[in-house]
Structure 1
């Protein structure tokens, strides 16, 4: 029989050993490569941001962070793929925020709801949309555009139904409360939408500033206005919607953004660790310079702040989607 005098020291020793083993296991993360899912195609701003983040994260974690593209269905395919992964910190998702703020309201037949399946780690940054017109259409200011669209049927291109360009146009139409005649021409992606503008097949479109900068500077397209509170750093000569002086546009601000998410139930310590990595990335001078060229304005946040921002943005878009009757089959 064990002497009672030795029972307490032994119990304490076993408890300390358990704590040490637990701390060791926790500190061991990550023990293997991490997959960073990107739910849109390679080569775009989201993908480029993910690859910059993965490079910095690999250095901080002393482990490989591998970017895996899973495009399709406006980000739903990649989002669902990430959400189904084990919530252990080895599969994360960098996505356009519309996966959380728009898709649940427009994909009525889809059972996947990112708000319930994924936890926010942090916001990455925002990007702006610009209203552009084809050369020769006529209007060069927003006021002129609204007047023109009140007399003529104006077509507008977008990267697809419920895409940022489609939603921004509908928000614009609702805000102006003008009898504009506008016909939506959805394409499968940004490239064909831009090409249709350049070729004169469509009249206008809200498209991402990063894609529009070289075309506006080369006078191939006309920059009419940016859908943000302040002028965009890459298009300082293009006024904001509010600067038009049109009623209803005084506070018009419709940015979109990127967010880093994890499968629901991922341990809080891993969420916190990745939030720190993300925010370090957003403070890195080299990364900031590259993000600026992509027209991404960094957003430092905690997981809680990210959740609040995404929820507020979702409410805003839910109203627009309902009033404009935006749906996707």
Structure 2
């Protein structure tokens, strides 16, 4: 049985078990007057495990949204297959605005590019991109001879398949390694070393020569002199970390932005989507507690997009990733 069929079977089973969260009403709430929305708790499905950056952002947003919406926003983790289990299960869920999905774009967009899913953001009603990761940093040990991304790439070209580069297969860091290979000619020995904490351990232990790790995970090792950052995979420099270059300054196509996004099932009333977007905008742009928390914990500057700008940014990232899809599947 192939992976897509397995995911579909799991999702179907989950829908049968939790019928209230899947399928549901065929009709969305009638467009127009949404003054009474919400009048009951909202279920916020988080596609990644507790403790990670996607979960952290979702739970912080949920807690602060409750004050503005006047109803509980309950975060529930439904994990597996880089978020595709939850996305498959809830994309056709209730359209009344009481089931929302919190995910990240490296999963939402990346899963289609890698073939893990056959759908992307177009299978949902995007509500808001409400945050931007501080960026995966390409890092090497402090005693490494490489001080810039050009040093690392040129060394790999001179000695193909000898420099071990740690990734998590199928994720954003893997997509970045494919871009380095196909677009700029890097010749790394790409090694699947798992999630960010495992990639960090592999690098510090000398099992790989380079990898990429979110700045929040690499910070103490960079500041203590154990690691060097060669730059971030952001398309432009982080507002919070302006001294760390973006690798796209050297190689324009070498960027993998990770955004945090709220989605609603396809067919959700546009008036509800707009009301939710405005509430999220208010939290992100006006709530001082939100600003303090995301800057302290994730090195994120508060940032949020309108519904239309969210759709445009998602399409832009999808176009970027799909250029390399033939190499990712």
User: Is the TM value for this pair above 0.5?
Assistant: yes
Match among 44, 53, 71 for residue 79 of structure 2: 71
Deviations 1:195-254 (A, max 9, x none): 1111111111122222222221122222112233543355444333255xx5xx257543
Taking the aligned partners of 1:220 and 1:74, their CA distance within structure 2 comes to 30
| Counterpart in the other structure of 2:126 | 120
Is 1:289 aligned with 2:292?
yes
Please give the root-mean-square deviation of Cα atoms over the aligned residues, in Å.
2.4
| Counterpart in the other structure of 1:94 | 102
Q: CA deviation at 1:94?
A: 1.1
Summarize the alignment of residues 4-153 of structure 1 with structure 2, pairs less than 5 Å apart: 26-107=34-115, 110=117, 113-127=119-133, 128-152=135-159, 153=162
| Counterpart in the other structure of 1:207 | 213
Q: Which runs of no fewer than 5 residues in structure 2 stay unpaired?
A: 1-29
Change in Cα spacing, 1:140 to 1:272, as seen in structure 2 (3 Å) is same
Change in Cα spacing, 1:231 to 1:309, as seen in structure 2 (3 Å) is closer
Q: CA deviation at 1:59?
A: 0.8
Deviations 1:275-300 (A, max 9, x none): 01111121122212222231334433
How many residues are treated as equivalent by the alignment? 295
Q: CA deviation at 1:157?
A: 1.2
Deviates more, 1:226-235 or 1:187-196: 226-235
Is 1:278 aligned with 2:280?
yes
Q: If the length of structure 2 is used for normalisation, what is the TM-score? A: 0.82
Is 1:157 aligned with 2:160?
no
Taking the aligned partners of 1:227 and 1:96, their CA distance within structure 2 comes to 15
2:110/2:172 contact within 8 Å kept: no
| Counterpart in the other structure of 2:202 | 196
SS at match of 2:324: helix
| Counterpart in the other structure of 2:262 | 260
Match among 264, 268, 271 for residue 269 of structure 1: 271
2:239/2:301 contact within 8 Å kept: no
Taking the aligned partners of 1:106 and 1:146, their CA distance within structure 2 comes to 24
Change in Cα spacing, 1:174 to 1:76, as seen in structure 2 (3 Å) is same
SS at match of 1:66: strand
**Runs of 4+ more than 6 Å apart:** 22-25
2:153/2:187 contact within 8 Å kept: no
Change in Cα spacing, 1:262 to 1:226, as seen in structure 2 (3 Å) is same
1:213/1:234 contact within 8 Å kept: no
Taking the aligned partners of 2:214 and 2:71, their CA distance within structure 1 comes to 34
Q: CA deviation at 1:259?
A: 0.9
| Counterpart in the other structure of 2:324 | 320
SS at match of 1:181: coil
Q: Which runs of no fewer than 5 residues in structure 1 stay unpaired?
A: 1-21
Q: Choose 1 or 2 for highest CA Rg.
A: 1
